[in-house]
Amino acid sequence: MMARLDTLPARQVAAGIAAGDFTAVEVARASLDAIAARDGQVQAFLQVSEELALAAATRIDAARAAGEPLPPLAGVPVAFKDNMNLLGTRTTCASRMLESYESAYTATCVQRMLDAGVIPLGKLNMDEFAFGSTTDSSAFHPTNNPWDTRRVPGGSSGGSAAAVAAGEVTVALGSDTGGSIRQPASLCGVVGMKPTYGVVSRYGVVAFGSSLDQVGPFGRRVEDVALAMSALVAGGRDRLDSTSQDCEQDYLAHLDDPIEGRAVGIIPALLEAEGLAPEVRAAMQEAIGKLAASGARIVEVDLPNMANSIAAYYALAPCEAFSNLARFDGVRYGYQEPGCTALSEQLSLSRAHGFGVEAKRRQMLGAYLLSSGVYDKYYLAAQKVRTLITADYQRAFAQVDAILMPSSPTVAWEHGSISDPAALYLSDIYTISSNIAGNCGISVPVCLGAQSGLPIGAQLQGRAFADATLLTFARALERACEMEGAVAPACAGKGGEL
Ligand code: GLN
């Protein structure tokens, strides 16, 4: 059979291997070939793990030859954000600080994907330590948006979104502390899901903001994301992550359920907000119309405290980051400044030279906000705002099953065109509140912008632990918008034949 790997849903990759249409090694080679042909332009990868990929593929082919049952994602090409440990690779967090850090073990989320039979293709670029919205703060190189390589892919999981949009892999994992899965998914025209806090284990993922971080999948279709979700929760609660919850559920069983008569919330004030690009506003209105045409009831809801979410997040997240990144001291982990005679000098120079500008800014902000006399004014106040935002969601989700809003106020922008960090922080307005409340959210591509021709995603947010319901609404939106499976045109067709 002749096929292009980038046109195949994950389910068909696994089914094709089971049926003997192609081997897992052929799939691994097709993915390596697509990476070789496309990643020079896109630069999504920090490391390509060819040996690991071929070894995993060989094991799957051997299992099939022996007549053993194949796992659900057998032979599906997957890559991981470089803040996730995978034995046999480095875990750099795109930082000089961890440039030569060899993974000492494999993260639970990565292991569960491996247990489901995926082929690990390597590690993906990101903003340094996941601070950012562009992937430009990677210490190694920027990643380019596959739809227009002069533009950013978004961030911080920009490498994950770009690798999937370019058709280099079928699924990628990213992490989302304030939008880092949903925003790059939107900018790259792919599906990206932030599960409910606690659904996916964070063991082995380098921590940014421990009360906000959540791992989730990217795919070119909702079904691929649902399959990855099922793999990530298989086995239930991870006793190695005390915040992980037992919530094993079947994310596929209700994927195609109709949404007739079910309520989708919209927040009119958000759609009129200053800073929302006209083509994104138009895309949201179109998406709302399509959901209504699919039978959903559109209901106005309000999240009155969302306006304070950016201020609350940029107090809470830096405080948590300051505490988490204290371990990178040049002694136990990572970069160690050579030639120092005093320990204090070694500590301070290792950190000064190991971290980039944004990582330093976040840590200094966190140190200040946690200092005595300042703590009550900001950190404590932000925790109170957190309670208010969570209560807002509880009221809204008493009325509706999902809330629709943009994932990003604009389409992808040109590298370097936003230099003010505060302007970047403000662009997180639509994603941050769901991390603060710990509920689930997903970005689904809905159209190409009328002015820019670039992809636009709509975000759906759902109540905590209703991740399967969120996927049902995402699938309904995907069906209505007919953007399923799109590979960025500049990449499609370059390598990757099966
Ligand atoms: N853009 C946000 C920030 O810079 C979110 C990052 C993330 O989710 N990792 O903090």
Backbone angles phi, psi at 80, to 5 degrees: -125, 140
Ranges of residues in the chain whose predicted pLDDT is under 50: none
180 C-alpha vs ligand 1 centroid, how far in Å?
5
- CA pair distance 32, 48, nearest whole angstrom: 8
**Residues near 100 by Cβ (< 8 Å), separated by ≥ 6?**
90
* Residue 464: inside a domain: no
Give residue 340's pLDDT. 93
Q: Which residues, listed in sequence order, are joined to residue 441 by a DSSP beta bridge?
A: 194, 461
Q: What is the DSSP pairing of strand 191-194 with strand 171-176?
A: unpaired
The answer to whether position 234 is within a domain reads yes
Q: At 320, list the tokens.
A: 């948590």
Q: What is the CATH number of the domain that holds 30?
A: 3.90.1300.10
Concatenate the DSSP letters of all residues of 247-289 into one string: ----SSTTTT---TT-EEEE-HHHHT-TT--HHHHHHHHHHHH
pLDDT at 274: 85
Instruction: Kindly report whether the peptide bond that precedes residue 138 is cis, defined as omega within 30 degrees of 0.
Output: no
Ligand 1, closest atom to CA 181? 8
Closest CA to 199 of 240, 156, 250, 238: 238
What pTM does this model have?
0.98
| Residue 294 bears catalytic tag | no
Q: Closest residue (by CA) to atom 10 of ligand 1?
A: 131
Set 31, 49, 81, 433: catalytic member = 81
Q: Report the separation in Å between the CA atom of 442 and the middle of ligand 1, taken as the mean of its atom positions.
A: 16
pLDDT at residue 2 in the model: 72
Ligand 1 site residues, Cβ closer than 6 angstroms? 130-133, 156, 176-180, 208, 317, 428
Tell me which of 124, 180, 208 to substitute to probe ligand 1's pocket, judged by most ligand atoms within 8 Å of the beta carbon.
180
Is position 300 within any domain?
Answer: no
Is residue 360 in a domain? Answer: no
Per the domain annotation, does 387 fall within a domain?
Answer: no
Contact 334, 98 (CB under 8 A): yes
In a domain, 424, yes or no: no
Cβ–Cβ under 8 Å, residues 196 and 438: yes
In tens, the pLDDT along 6-39 reads 999 999 999 999 999 999 999 999 999 999 999 9
pLDDT in tens, 231-268: 999 999 999 999 999 986 789 999 999 999 999 999 99
Identify the pLDDT of residue 1. 54
pLDDT at 186: 98
Domain that holds residue 57: 5-260+477-481
105 in any annotated domain: yes
> How far apart are the CA of 156 and the centre of ligand 1, in A?
6
132 CA closest ligand 1 atom index: 4
Tally of structural domains, the chain: 1
Residue 363: predicted pLDDT: 98
- Mutate-to-test residue for ligand 1 from 131, 176, 319, 365, highest number of ligand atoms within 8 A of CB: 131
Of 31, 49, 137, 156, the active-site residue reads 156
Q: Could you tell me if residue 176 is inside a domain?
A: yes
The residue type found at 29 is R
Q: Give, using CA atoms, the residue closest to atom 4 of ligand 1.
A: 132
Cβ(412)–Cβ(145) below 8 Å: yes
Is there a contact between 23 and 61 (Cβ–Cβ < 8 Å)? yes
156 is catalytic: yes
- Cα(260) to ligand 1 centroid in Å equals 35
433 catalytic per annotation: no
Q: Give the atom of ligand 1 at the shortest distance from the alpha carbon of 177.
A: 8
Per annotation, catalytic residue among 95, 137, 160, 180? 180
To 10 degrees, the CA torsion angle through 465, 244, 431, 226? -60
- The residue whose CB lies within 8 Å of the most ligand 1 atoms, and thus the one to mutate among 126, 157, 177, 413, is 177
Q: Cβ(213)–Cβ(201) under 8 Å?
A: no
Indicate the Cα dihedral angle 345, 348, 350, 351, nearest 10°: 180
Contact call for residues 317 and 212 (beta carbons, < 8 A)? yes
Chain position carrying tokens 């440039």 = 99
Task: Give CA–CA dist 76/217, Å, rounded.
Answer: 13
SS3 217: strand
- 211 alpha carbon to ligand 1 midpoint, in Å? 13
> What's the gap in Å between 313 CA and the centre of ligand 1?
9
